[in-house]
Chains A and B, each alone.
Chain A
């Protein structure tokens, strides 16, 4: 038995070594792509790109470079990435939302090392700004989405709400009117405070009250009076019965489903909501409006952006060739011939200028969204503590939902973040 085992072990060792060495002359790039929708995997690895797929096309166009590309669901993405980093086995190219931790620990290559000049200038500058730490660009945006209020016109009209609420007070009155008109059949307003995306809810409300994650100097300012008021307001909406019943476990998709089914009157959602409703064969024709704000504050749109970044690999024999290969990957990806299909497939917004023309041509509503995005606020993802803050505000929201005091909770969070 022992012999057998050792034979197997030795064999497998040998085999896997052999596999590794077989491609030694080629450069193999490990790529991890986040799964945005049901088409992502098909596009990269299946037959979703005109009967072929990204990997095949890329390898045909760039002989000598092999892609080991993996599409990972968001559920597992952080687990996979951080486990691989812990084991010095980081991917070469990673598509994810956060980057500050990686950059601060010196794991990333500066974008200037591998990104061709021409491509770099093609990115929207306000997006690139979001990936700068200490003057160095560490990642490039892969796509973005903008958030706005979508409303179900029919439901509002039936409830006698003739003006889409702009302020918080109006939102409460409209919600009350909808409750009155439909009893429990329709939820007036959707809130998602789940572990998946609770930070978005935080942003919607604090930015609508002139609060925010950081103060004007860029220091963390989580427990300001404006923020406390904003979160208390949001929790109040839940407690008054204006929202979906379980904000801590009902994800954005649950809420979008309710909206698509005509069970929810208003919702804050990303720009691809109409695409989503169509895929669910919903008949709701949503209208869009700006996010509601508190009296005396200004409304601000919220932008969310994901990134592509390249990791250092000091063990690579030829750094220049590796950088060049990464550059080729990016060039190929952002080539309008490929990129436009990718972005429009899931209804996202593009990150490069060269894609805008084709996209606006196919769907004129894109232009309006691009304008919204131009003035949108983004999460402070360049700050090192962002991940802690993100998890922290979600915990605060969820604790407040179960009866915690918002002021105390935010004070504690601020102390925890800045005390470090």
Chain B
């Protein structure tokens, strides 16, 4: 896009300078501190000491809870991102159909997006309590249940609940991203496909998905990052109990830092998480961008 807009070579840099400054100061500087802390001894009370190399990383990785936490994190990210993309995509397809009350349905779709995560997690935590939770209340009062059911009978089930809440709050983001993509598809594509005799699935595969893909790509990367770093849901519902079995990396390192007072390994973990994210989303971006050459 060689254009009239650039009069001097340094001009573009002037335009991006404020944002660079903002992020340098308020994001990169703290990141720098975290990197430094990851290689330092940190006392239990939080006093920062001398450089100790990779000791913190060793401690973090060799802890007994680490494999389980990594497994949980993988499950959490894959299930939340995967399912919310799938469901969000379906919702967008439906909401793109003309029908009476579509406006209302779209407005409702926005709800989980607009409420804060802490609040939604608290509400769901209240809903699935066995002794006085609202789910039991409603089902008993409507007569679908005879006795109160323990909705969190084991930590596996609790973790699945957490994933489910994660999915619910992520769906709107995906839905609206896909919906925007769908709206921009020219109707003529579908007409042409119909003339060619394509059925629903064929149209979906050969028209819809390829055209929606670009809007999905970046939103998926952002989604992966947000979900990986998501904290309030798990912290509110189980706090990782029992014994870190429902922790993901972010909640685990929070507990490590502020409950166990082991900030060294915790910061080391956050650096590890950062590296994982970099590699994962880097790969994803490379994979999708090479094809489209969108920049």
Contacts and interface: CB of A to CB of B under 8 A. Distances in A.
A275 interface: no
Interface in A176-229: 184, 193-196
Nearest to B148: A184
B187 interface: no
B258 A245 contact: no
A7 to B, nearest CB: 12
Contacts of B22: 5
Contact of B46 (A1, A85, A249, A257): A85
Contacts of A194: 239, 241
Interface in A34-83: 78-79, 82-83
B242 A402 contact: yes
Contacts of B17: 1-2
A246 interface: yes
Given A5-B21, A387-B261, A401-B242, A86 B48 contact: yes
B271 interface: no
Q: Is chain A's interface secondary structure helix, strand, loop, or mixed overall?
A: helix
Contacts of B153: 245-246
Range class of the A interface residue count: 35 or more
A402 B44 contact: no
Contacts of A78: 258-259, 261
A388 B152 CA distance: 28
A133 interface: no
Contacts of A119: none
A5 B18 contact: yes
A391 B243 CA distance: 10
Interface string B152-193: 110100100000000000000000000000000000000000
A107 B46 CA distance: 11
Contact of A101 (B242, B257, B261): B261
A85 B17 CA distance: 34
B157 to A, nearest CB: 10
B242 A398 contact: yes
B295 interface: no
Given A85-B45, A248-B155, A195 B263 contact: no
Interface in A249-305: 249, 254, 257-258, 261, 263
Nearest to B244: A395
Contacts of A254: 129, 131
A249 B158 contact: yes
Given A101-B43, A195-B239, A195-B259, 15 more contacts: A1-B15, A2-B17, A4-B18, A5-B21, A78-B258, A78-B261, A82-B258, A82-B263, A83-B46, A195-B241, A388-B261, A391-B259, A395-B244, A399-B243, A402-B243
Interface of B: 14-15, 17-18, 21-22, 42-48, 129-132, 147, 150, 152-153, 155, 158, 238-245, 254-255, 257-261, 263
27 contacts: A5-B22, A79-B254, A82-B258, A82-B261, A83-B46, A85-B46, A86-B47, A102-B45, A184-B147, A193-B242, A194-B239, A196-B239, A246-B130, A248-B242, A249-B241, A257-B132, A261-B131, A263-B131, A387-B260, A387-B261, A388-B260, A388-B261, A395-B243, A395-B244, A398-B242, A399-B243, A402-B242
Interface of A: 1-2, 4-5, 78-79, 82-83, 85-86, 101-102, 105, 107, 184, 193-196, 245-246, 248-249, 254, 257-258, 261, 263, 387-388, 391, 395, 398-399, 401-402, 404
